[in-house]
Each structure stands twice: as C-alpha cells, then as structure tokens.
Structure 1
Amino acid sequence: MKSPGVCCMTPDRLLFELAEFFDYWKIRYAIVGSVASIAYGEPRMTNDVDFVVELKREHVTPLVAAFSAPDFYLSEPAIHSAIAKKFQFNIIDPAAGYKADIILSSDDDIHHSLLARRCRREIGEAAFAWLGSPEDIILGKLQYHKLGGSPKHIRDIAGILKISGAEIDRDYIAGWVDKLQLRTSWNEALAVVENSQE
C-alpha cells in the first residue's frame, strides 16, 4: 500500500486514502453520513467523511504511521479511548481543514446490520469503497435528525428517496423505524418527497 498523499488533500482524497488503508489491513468498514447520502442522492458540499469501522488495537500503530504529523492530526490516545468505549475519533488534514470521523462499530444490532449490508461502489474515477446501503444511510440520518432536529438530514433523506427510490427496501427501513422510535422523522422525510412531487 502506498503512503497517503501529503499535498492538497481534498475530502475525496482523504476518503480514498482511508478506504485504501482499511482495505489493505482487511478492516471492515462502511462509509456513512453525508458522503454516502450524496452517492445515493443529491449533491451538496461537505468537508467531513464518516466511517463506521471494526478497528482493533493491533491496527492502531499502522494507522498512526500512515496518517502521521505534520500532514495529519491524529491522537493515538484518542484512538485507544475510542476502541475501549466503542466511540469515535477524528483524523484531520489541518492544512485544508478536512476531517474524517472514525466511528467504532458497536455491538448493537444496527451496526451489525449496517456492516453486513454494505455495498462496494464506485466513488470516483477508478476508485471503489464500501458504503452503507441506502437504507442504512437513511436510518443513520433519521437518528441524527431525532437527536438534533437539523433539517439537512431530512433533505438528504428526501434526496436519496428521489434519486434511488426504486432500489430502496422500505420494509427494512420501516422495521428499524419502529424499533428505534424514528417514526416522526421518517414521516417528515416522506412528506417532503410527496410535496416535491405535487
């Protein structure tokens, strides 16, 4: 595996380098968040790349070596803490201000389902990576909307439904919506799509 590039990092470039690292070390991951919603839905600007990752302690040393200072900011203690607590840590390109959120996969059913259903997709010219399925990206957006109420998550969901609606398993979403108590946010997203079609 080649070393990550050190000059003029774009969000896509950071995404590619991390996906390459995880693939090389056979670490299961799925790209989620706005980058994934853009892949399935409508384009918008984002400076963040989000991964759900099955990272283990033996991966810490090569990760720190691959994304080292001064080209990146990465805290080794933060990685160990995230692994222990099943939380998250950041990798930052300080020159460009781009950030990757590395979310440690938890032991709950939603993360198991997310990683089991991930899709290998083209994300750039001759570049492929594992993305969460459109259904799981929608569920993640619904969870964030429930927590914070930001309308951007509803817009992202509506964009996925408009662009990729034919391939989406709404029964799968509906089952999780009830389990996770996301019905209000889901109905709001559906209403946005319906209103846009009138």
Structure 2
Amino acid sequence: MNVLRAAIEVARFLEEQEVRYFMIGGLALQHWGEPRLTRDVDVTVLVDPEDLESFVDRVLERFSPRIADTKPFALRHRVLLIATDQGVPVDISLGIPGYEEEAFARAVWVKFPAGEKLRLVSPEDLIIHKCVAGRPRDAEDVESILIRQRLRVDLDTIRQWLEAFRPIIDTHDPLAFFEQALTRARRSLETGGDL
C-alpha cells in the first residue's frame, strides 16, 4: 500500500476534472512537521455548490466507496470516503467558501522524491486544521510543525482564523490550544530541541 502513489492517483484525477485541491493530513505533516506513518490520503477540494452532486458522482464512477450510502453521507457530512484501486483509504473533504478559499490561495506545490508534484496545504493551514480538531496527537503535530519550520509561519493568520473558529467549537478553545503548542515549541527551540 503506497500512500504517495495513491495521493498522486487522486490528484491526477482531480486535475483532469479541473477541481482545486490540496493534500492535508499525513502527507502534509511529513513535509511540514515530524514525519510519521500514514495509511490514508486526506485531501480537501473546493467545488461550486451547484456542481457538488455531479462531482461526487464522477468520483464514485472512478473510485470505490468505503461505506454504504456514500453519496448521501458525503452531501450531508461534506466528506467523501473512497478507496483507490490499491485499496488505500481516501477522505475527500468538500471545502466550503470562506476560510477554505484563503487556504487554497496559501497552498503550495511540492515536488516529492518520485519527481511528482502535489499541492499541499500550507503549514499555517495545517496548524489551523490541527488546532480545530484539538486531539492530543494534534498538539504534538502542531508543535512539530512549529519546530521544523523554526517558527517561520504566519502567526497572525493562524491566530486570526482560530479566533474566528472559537465560537463554533464547543469542545475546546482552538486559540488556547495553539498558544500552548507555540509555547512548548519555543521552549524546545530555546533549549536546542530539534526534530
């Protein structure tokens, strides 16, 4: 099971469909933070609302669904759960206008060792996603990104969006989550810590 090959397969399909995308999750973390094993592909797409059903249909014509009633689930929860020909799980998040449009503008093309280029989420937006999710492993990931990037990220953009997301997240405070990870990363860098 080759996750990079699966990501390339999905990316080429999206490019053929002229759908804007960026890779997020394990592949992006391997590039921006501390590499760790990933078994799936996470990708965010931006599709016009009037084209959403048609897009889901085209994806399901090309890739295998991972759950029953995939289309209704995707339209309701805004995530399309599929698998590549090699059986690699892929989560396609159906982005919404607003934040995601800005995230697409910040996404970058990255060349991988195989010579293939993929569009990756920016380190700032990967941090934002991790802070919104707020799991213990996400805190470690945020810290690793900050350390690997040696704090050279747009802190204002991160704080602005986390402040905007505060009212809609009832499980934790995403901005406080970030500030705690930032404090730990600074401390680690000051004491000579590195990845």
Give the TM-score normalised by the residue count of structure 2: 0.80
Q: Secondary structure at the match of 2:19?
A: coil
Report what 1:141 is aligned to.
Answer: 130
Runs of 5+ in structure 2 lacking a partner? 167-173
Report what 1:88 is aligned to.
Answer: 79
| Matched ranges for 1:1-198 at <5 A | 9-55=1-47, 56-67=52-63, 72-74=64-66, 77-82=69-74, 84-85=75-76, 87-92=78-83, 98-107=88-97, 109-145=98-134, 150-165=135-150, 167-181=152-166, 182-197=174-189, 198=191
Report how far residue 177 of structure 1 moved: 2.3
In structure 1, how many angstroms separate the alpha carbons of the residues matched to 2:65 and 2:150? 38
Report how far residue 74 of structure 1 moved: 4.7
Aligned-residue CA RMSD (Å) = 2.3
Q: How many residues align?
A: 179
Q: Which amino acid aligns with 2:138?
A: H
Report what 1:3 is aligned to.
Answer: none
Q: Deviations over 1:31-78 (max 9, x none)?
A: 1123212211111111121111124333344423322xxxx4456842
Report how far residue 80 of structure 1 moved: 5.0
Q: Deviations over 1:93-130 (max 9, x none)?
A: 5975x3111111123x2212112221111134111111
Q: Secondary structure at the match of 1:180?
A: helix
In structure 2, how many angstroms separate the alpha carbons of the residues matched to 1:44 and 1:91? 22
Runs of 5+ in structure 1 lacking a partner? 1-8
Pair 1:52–1:94, CA change in 2 (3 A): same
Pair 1:188–1:47, CA change in 2 (3 A): same
Give the TM-score normalised by the residue count of structure 1: 0.79
Q: Is the 8 A contact 1:33 1:141 kept in 2?
A: no
**Structure 1 residue ranges (4+ consecutive) displaced by more than 6 angstroms after TM superposition:** none
Q: Which amino acid aligns with 1:187?
A: E
Pair 1:179–1:62, CA change in 2 (3 A): closer
In structure 1, how many angstroms separate the alpha carbons of the residues matched to 2:86 and 2:118? 25
Identity, in percent, stands at 25
In structure 1, how many angstroms separate the alpha carbons of the residues matched to 2:151 and 2:99? 23
Pair 1:37–1:95, CA change in 2 (3 A): closer
